[in-house]
């Protein structure tokens, strides 16, 4: 069974906790240590960013991390080499998040084959058109048992959400707002209404909420309406400050407790 599906199957009612960081930041060789540290510390799933020069969905914190990673020399080929070196130490799902240009250049077949060989369970491609996913990406991803996770926003129509839910597996990534990634201090009534609306749709796939979660209020609000949360910008900032994944996680947990 794919590790993403297995994770949701055994979680019972527990809310899952996933973190994002950018491969190759703060240093080129830190990627493996960040992953193994978070795995030992009990994080449920890790989203590993593939650095790109024009990350349209990302705010300034993650853009800066991507710039640092590229300057450090991080490439997709290098990332797969690092992941291959730790695959026997990692028993939780790894999800790669990268933009279409990078993955197309690498080649769909080689990308998903490498994901399978290196212990990666899923991929998020924010700028992948859904029609292209169905025609070109899904057949290859399915061949290697890799889950392609699709994002929805408050502007996504119910018809499109139900189509995404019927044609994907793993989980649905609920973006908290139509903007880019970044820390938010609270989720207002409008965002909470969006969370509730999607929850009331009773989708087939589990739901994870990301973008903006940074404190107790945003965490609890998201957890009330989804199966788990994904924290990116806040953790990336703390990781840059500390240079150590364990210390950054400790500070994050303290902030989330309020």
| 58 catalytically annotated | yes
DSSP 102-139: HHHHH-HHHHHHHHHHTT--EEE-TT--HHHIIIIIHH
Backbone torsion region of residue 126, taken as left when φ is above 0, otherwise alpha when ψ lies between -120 and 50, otherwise beta: alpha
Catalytic residue among 29, 33, 44, 58: 58
Residue 67: its H or E element? helix 60-72
Give CA separation, 100 vs 111, 123, 161, 205, in Å: 11, 11, 21, 24
| 47 catalytically annotated | yes
| Token code pair at residue 63 | 């853009």
Catalytic residue among 6, 29, 44, 47: 47
Q: Which of 85, 138, 84 is nearest to 112 (CA)?
A: 138
| Token code pair at residue 1 | 């069974």
Which residues are catalytic, by number? 47, 58
């Amino acid at each position: 069974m794919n590790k993403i599906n297995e994770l949701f199957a055994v979680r019972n009612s527990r809310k899952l906790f996933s973190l994002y960081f950018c491969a190759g930041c703060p240093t080129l060789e830190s990627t493996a240590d960040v992953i193994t540290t978070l795995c030992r510390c009990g994080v449920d799933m890790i989203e590993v960013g593939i650095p790109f020069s024009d990350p349209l969905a990302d705010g300034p914190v993650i853009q800066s991390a991507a710039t640092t990673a590229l300057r450090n020399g991080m490439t997709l080929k290098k990332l797969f080499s690092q992941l291959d070196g730790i695959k026997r130490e990692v028993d939780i799902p790894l999800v790669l998040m990268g933009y279409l240009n990078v993955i197309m250049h690498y080649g769909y077949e080689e990308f998903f084959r490498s994901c399978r060989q290196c212990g990666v369970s899923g991929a998020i491609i924010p700028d992948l058109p859904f029609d292209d996913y169905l025609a070109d990406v899904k057949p290859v991803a399915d061949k290697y048992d890799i889950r392609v996770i699709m994002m929805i926003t408050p502007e996504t129509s119910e018809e499109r959400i139900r189509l995404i839910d019927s044609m994907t597996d793993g989980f649905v990534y609920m973006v908290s707002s139509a903007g880019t990634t970044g820390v938010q201090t609270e989720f207002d009534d409008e965002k909470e209404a969006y969370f509730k609306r999607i929850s009331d749709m009773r989708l087939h796939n589990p739901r994870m909420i990301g973008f903006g979660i940074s404190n107790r209020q945003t965490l609890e609000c998201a957890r009330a309406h989804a199966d788990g949360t994904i924290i990116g910008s806040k953790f990336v900032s703390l990781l840059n400050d500390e240079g150590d994944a364990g210390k950054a996680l400790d500070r994050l947990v303290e902030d989330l407790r309020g």
